[in-house]
Amino acid sequence: MNLRPKLTAEQAAANLAEKEPAYSAQEARVEADRCLYCYDAPCIMACPTGIDIPGFIQKISTGNLTGSARTILESNILGNSCARVCPTSVLCEGACVLEDRDKKPIKIGRLQRFATDHVLQNNIQVVKPAAEKSGKKVALVGGGPASLGCAAELVRLGHDAVIFEKKPAAGGLNTYGIAVYKMAPQVSIEEVEMIKELGVEIRESVEVGKDITMDELRKDYDAVFLGIGLGGSRRLGFPGEDLPGVVEAVDFIEQLHRKPLDQVPVGEHVVVLGCGNTAIDALVQSKKLGATTATIAYRRGEADMSAYPFEYEWAKQAGCQFEFDASPVEVLSDNGAITGMRLARADGSEFTLPADMVILSLGQSKMRETLAGWLPDLELDPRGVIVVDPLSSATNIEGVYAGGDAANGGAEVVNAVADGKKAALDMHQKFTGETINPPVQTTRYGEEKVFGSGLENPVRAPELEATYFLKKER
């Protein structure tokens, strides 16, 4: 078997360096000065957490980085990681009015990173807990973005929040599952520390159902939030699927977060099954770790892949290859060592790709059995996703909320944070009687959505014009 580390530490670090470097102060000021500071800005409407984007950019242009970061983090406590991993080209930047003028959109993500890097790297706490406590406390299961967003908002509103995370470190996919070239694991760890300093208690290496029961949580806490994410990769049952050298994409990516990069084994010829964004992450990283060939095999056509177009282009630029309309038939092997991946075309013809490592990215399984053991009456949709009220993230069980991938089936980090915030606002109303309505997301066609419910490709359109307040203080 040819699975072994292939690069030195220096080579691996260089190959997997963040693909978009941080702005210098001069670069950030120049980019911020291009913004029109729209009053009814479409970029705000396209952000699931409703960040005042023109407001934070205007503060960068005047040198107020701390104030800029405060504007961001009060709306999205994970604004630093979202600045790196959000698909900005189909969210805020995709809605920028400058594209109507045949100009490049503002680099909102990089400006957001510039401001939030400033406060995290200098340990400036810009988000504060409430001065008075309500006496209410909430248990949050899972330490990913949805729970972190919910817990931070609860503390800001005066309630106690305790997160139970079964892994040694919180952060969920931000800590364990994001491609290293998009975001270094340390970024997520720093965000988690900031949230702890805000007053959120995080009990790591504590597994609900093993170390503490759901019944105990419901008895001892005023509400429970489920931010448990999804399970492992689905299996198709083809021959050879269980051979050594066949790994799940999320497990492969997690190795890059747990081990030094020069200690992560990779094949000479890697085949990835699936064509979502996680598949692309695994594909590109295997190539950058030294694989001679890295190929995606996808059973549908190019137009059907769920990966974003910019991710697809990035993979091709990295030297990766794609085989569309190719369904897995069998992992070939010799004395237990993988030698190839046999695939079938739509017309029934078969072909073989050389492979000594196969990565499965066929969609993650849902947590049906776990949820059934915890809460037998919890309503799930046919996919096994938790059914929640889109306005409040509340489930059908009183006092139980859910958000993130467990409730939306798999979306962006920013959507998970928005789910958590909605839950926190509803809990606050139940605890205190004070109503704080979630903001409404409006597409440029005038369609209204609750923030965090998802927005597909905000496109430039003449139907909705923004009002420009050129260079005025916000």
Let me know if residue 21 belongs to a domain: no
Number of structural domains (the chain) is 3
What is the average pLDDT across 324-339?
Answer: 95
Each residue's pLDDT tens digit, 415-430 = 999 999 999 999 999 9
- What's the pLDDT at 465? 39
What is the average pLDDT across 348-374?
Answer: 92
Are 76 and 219 in a shared domain? no
- What's the pLDDT at 423? 97
Q: Which domain holds residue 352?
A: 246-360
Please report, rounded to a whole number, the percentage of residues in the chain having pLDDT higher than 70: 92
The C-alpha torsion from 232 through 236 and 242 to 246, rounded to 10°, is: -70
Domain closes at, from 316, 332, 360? 360
Let me know if residue 6 belongs to a domain: no
- What's the pLDDT at 438? 67
Are 424 and 278 in a shared domain? no
Are 155 and 80 in a shared domain? no
Among residues 274, 324, 269, the alpha carbon closest in space to that of 300 is found at 324
pLDDT at 284 over 50: yes
Let me know if residue 41 belongs to a domain: yes
What is the average pLDDT across 207-226?
Answer: 97
419 token code pair: 């789910």
Lowest mean pLDDT among 46-60, 107-121, 289-303, 363-377: 363-377
| Alpha-carbon span 94 to 84, nearest angstrom | 16
The pTM score is 0.89
Separate counts of helices (H) and strands (E) for the chain: 17, 15
Band the pLDDT of 340: cuts 50, 70, 90. very high
What is the average pLDDT across 226-253?
Answer: 90
Are 256 and 350 in a shared domain? yes
Are 313 and 413 in a shared domain? no
Q: What is the DSSP string of 221-290?
A: SSEEEE-----SB-----TTTTSTTEEEHHHHHHHHHHS-GGG--B-SEEEEE--SHHHHHHHHHHHHTT
Are 93 and 176 in a shared domain? no
| Alpha-carbon span 153 to 147, nearest angstrom | 10
Are 186 and 292 in a shared domain? no
Let me know if residue 7 belongs to a domain: no
Mean pLDDT value across the chain: 90
CATH code: domain of residue 345? 3.50.50.60
pLDDT at 469 over 50: no
Are 299 and 390 in a shared domain? no
Are 78 and 162 in a shared domain? no
CATH code: domain of residue 114? 1.10.1060.10
Each residue's pLDDT tens digit, 387-397 = 999 999 999 99
- Whether the Cβ atoms of residue 314 and residue 284 lie closer than 8 Å to each other: yes
* Backbone torsions φ then ψ of 162, nearest 5 degrees: -125, 120
Let me know if residue 20 belongs to a domain: no
- What's the pLDDT at 168? 95
Are 259 and 299 in a shared domain? yes
Are 217 and 258 in a shared domain? no
